[in-house]
Each structure stands twice: as structure tokens, then as C-alpha cells.
Amino acid sequence: MAEERFTCRWAALSLSNIASVFLPDLLHLRESSASIKHELVSVSTTGGASRAADWLKQNKIPNAESIIVYHSWEEMLEKGDFDVVYISTPHPLHYAHVQKALQCKRNVLVEKPATMNRAQFTQLCNLAKEVNVVLMEAMWTRYLPATLYFQHKLLPRIGDVKRVYAEFSFPIVSPDLSHESRFLDKAAGAGSLLDQGVYALTWADLALNGLTSSQDKTQTEVVYAHSMPVPGVQGDVDDINTIILNKIKINESGGKQQEAVAIVTTSMTLPGSSKPAFYQRLQATKAAPAVRIEATKASVSVPFPPIRPQELYVQWYDEEHLDENGFETDEVIKMPVERGWGIWYQADVIAERVARRNGNDQGTGEVIGEEESGRVIGWMDRAREMAGIVYDAALEQV
């Protein structure tokens, strides 16, 4: 018997810039045979009457005429008829928006970083479980084919990871960027660590902990963090950040042994491994890797942009892989996204989970990627403490 097809009905809380990427990616170009179908059924916006109409038109959203437009996100969460809400407001608002959504028993996909700090994230995870719904941080990079290939096919073969360089910089901040933009306004969560560092740290996490099962007694912690602010901007907006993570193994007698190290860098003013045109065209690649993972048998390089990997470069140097002259061998693994920008993969992940739960009383809710997101957010807390990156306490409240 053919499997039933699930249509995931989405609500969008905000018509943000990233909503203009995510929703068209999700709704356009989908194979009619895909087991999951996605539909946008409601949006909420703080904008006036024409805002949603213009947005739906500009983004060529299918069935726009039947989409319910709310001018109160609370009302949409309370009364709307949908399966998952996608929350893409600036990060200091995520906590209140997700909390309300969960209180209304909504499944939630929330943009990265899920929250301003770990305490907020833990609180939301507990609430999602309590009210029996699914919560997921939109860390879309984790769900791309190249990333999954790295984690599940390469990582088990390259030996012990010893050192990781994870870099995600590109010059978002130009001299003419308004200081009111969310990239420069501290009240909107501005700062390279929360905006870009969350990706670079995710790569460090994939490399250091992508294979670690919860049985393994390891611990990865921030041991160094340094930050330089964007010059000439009020409120010390963190820009050039350097973080060092140590992974340690705890042996049976409680002793600690160093396993690996990661050096993580970000910047909103330096190009890093990007081409300066990246932010306009979001397509550039360059030979210098953004991420390099050095293990005992091979190293793996991920070209820019590491948020959307499509190729992995492997340099094998263990005995088994040397060529007839005793030289190292190279492998290029191409794993392109199947269509569009690829930000839709994460939507299939949460939709499949929601479909599986529908009609089954699970008893408790679940958080997709809870450990991973929690670890990265926790590292950002610690890095901020060490590097003196501070936000108004009101944005951090639980």
C-alpha cells in the first residue's frame, strides 16, 4: 500500500529577510512525488495591510489568496490552524515568541540562534516536552547532504579528530550599513558571535562530537575567547572573534585527557575565506577552506560558505590510502543540495517528525537536536563571558 502523503501546513511569525528565503525554498520546485508536501497557510506581520500582500506577491507564494494574514502574532498562535510555526524574528525575541507558541501547543521551528543563552533554551526545551510538541532550532547546515555525509560516512573513517579550524566570516558590515540594522543594533541581538559564530561552532561540534554517543565520557569546553568590536558603532558590537575549545576525555578513575582542540573564528567586517561578493550573491566559493578538520588518518576541508557546504575535500594520509609512490591521496566528494537554496531540508526533518507523531499520543514532546543546539548555545554563553560580550539583561531573562 502506498504511504500516505503528509501535507505540513506552516505559519510564519514575521516576514523577515530569511523568511523570504526559507518559505520560497520550501514551497517552490518541490517534486510532486515527495512524501512530504508543504503549504503556507498563515502569516503574521507587524507591518500594515499591504505588507503581507506585497510580500506574498514578491515571493510568488502559491495559493496566496487563501493565506490568513494576522496583524498580531499572539492571535495567530492562539487561533490559527496550522502544523508548524516558523519563527524568524531577531534573536532576542525568540524566547518570548517560542514560549508563547509552546504555550499554545504549537510545533516550532525557530531561527538560529534559538535563544540568547542556554538558560532560555533549556526552559523552552522543558516546556516543549511538557506540552507534548516538537521544537527545533533552524540550524539548517546540519541537515544538508554534504554535512550528513561528513558526519555519518566520513567521520567514522578518518580516525581520531585532533584539530579543527572553523571559520565563518564575511563582510556584512559595510560603512554605509545603518546602525539600526539588526547587525549593528545591540537591542536586536547584534554581534558576530550569535549571528555567525553559531555556524562555526556548529562545525566544531560536528567534528568534535559528531560521533560521540551520550555514553562516551567526554567534555568539550571553551578555554579561550577574545573579541574585538566593530569600530565606530555604539555598544561594543562584537566582530572579530577567536574562540578555542578543548575536548577532553574523562577516564574511569576520573582523570582527564586532552583529545582534540578547535579554533573557531568569525567576523562581520573581514572577508575570512569568503569572496567579498558573497553577501550580494551568496554563491561564491574559494579554494581556502572555511573549515578544516584534521584527524589521524585524513583531513577534511569544507570550502566557503560553510553554512551551505556542497563539497568536501579529503586528504588521506594513513597507510591504507597512500598511492603506489607512497604519497597521500586526495578525494573530492560532491554533495550538492538537490534544489533551491537547501534551507528546506530542515523543514522536511521537523515535518516528518510531526507527521509521525500525529494521531499517536506520545505523552511527551521532543526537541530535535537538543543536545547539539544546547552545547553550542552553552559555548556561546561561556565565550561571551570570557570575551566580555554583553547584552542588556532584559534580553537574557528567563
Ligand X SMILES: NC(=O)C1=CN([C@@H]2O[C@H](COP(=O)(O)OP(=O)(O)OC[C@H]3O[C@@H](n4cnc5c(N)ncnc54)[C@H](OP(=O)(O)O)[C@@H]3O)[C@@H](O)[C@H]2O)C=CC1
Ligand Y SMILES: O=C1OC[C@@H](O)[C@H](O)[C@H]1O
Contact set with ligand Y (CB under 6 A): 172, 195, 307
Give me the phi and psi of 193, to 5 degrees please. -65, -50
Among ligand Y, ligand X, none, the one that 172 touches (CB under a kind-dependent 5 to 8 A) is ligand Y
User: Residue number with the shortest CB distance to ligand X?
Assistant: 16
Among ligand X, ligand Y, none, the one that 182 touches (CB under a kind-dependent 5 to 8 A) is ligand X
**Cell 520546485 appears where?**
29
**The binder of ligand X chosen from 16, 147, 266, 301 (CB under 6 A):** 16
Residues 167-206 that bind ligand X (CB under 6 A): 182, 195
Q: Are 84 and 55 in contact (CB under 8 A)?
A: no
Establish if 46 lies at the interface with ligand X (CB under 6 A). Answer: yes
Show the CA angle centred on residue 59, arms to residues 281 and 178, nearest 5°: 55
Among ligand Y, ligand X, none, the one that 16 touches (CB under a kind-dependent 5 to 8 A) is ligand X
My answer on whether omega of the bond before 231 falls inside 30° of 0, hence cis, is no
Q: Among 41-49, 224-232, 252-260, 283-291, which window interacts with ligand X (CB under 6 A)?
A: 41-49
Separation CA 43–CA 46 (nearest Å): 10
For the four alpha carbons of 182, 186, 188 and 190, in that order, the dihedral sign comes to positive
Between 166 and 260, whose beta carbon lies closer to ligand X?
Answer: 166
Establish if 386 lies at the interface with ligand X (CB under 6 A). Answer: no
Between 161 and 184, whose beta carbon lies closer to ligand Y?
Answer: 184
Residues 49-108 that bind ligand X (CB under 6 A): 73, 88-91, 93
Separation CA 37–CA 227 (nearest Å): 43
Give me the phi and psi of 284, to 5 degrees please. -65, 150
Separation CA 197–CA 120 (nearest Å): 18
Among ligand Y, ligand X, none, the one that 125 touches (CB under a kind-dependent 5 to 8 A) is none
Between 93 and 155, whose beta carbon lies closer to ligand Y?
Answer: 93
Establish if 137 lies at the interface with ligand X (CB under 6 A). Answer: no
Establish if 138 lies at the interface with ligand X (CB under 6 A). Answer: yes
What residues contact residue 363 under an 8 Å CB cut-off, 6+ apart?
132
Q: Give min distance, CB of 184 to ligand Y, in A.
A: 12
Between 17 and 257, whose beta carbon lies closer to ligand X?
Answer: 17
Establish if 45 lies at the interface with ligand X (CB under 6 A). Answer: yes
Between 19 and 204, whose beta carbon lies closer to ligand X?
Answer: 19
Among ligand Y, ligand X, none, the one that 7 touches (CB under a kind-dependent 5 to 8 A) is none
User: Residue 326: exposed, middle, or buried by beta-carbon count in 10 A (0-12, 13-18, 19+)?
Assistant: exposed
Establish if 18 lies at the interface with ligand X (CB under 6 A). Answer: yes
What residues contact residue 188 under an 8 Å CB cut-off, 6+ apart?
90, 91, 92, 182
Show the CA angle centred on residue 178, arms to residues 172 and 184, nearest 5°: 60
Binding site for ligand X (CB under 6 A): 14-18, 45-47, 73, 88-91, 93, 111-112, 138, 140, 182, 195
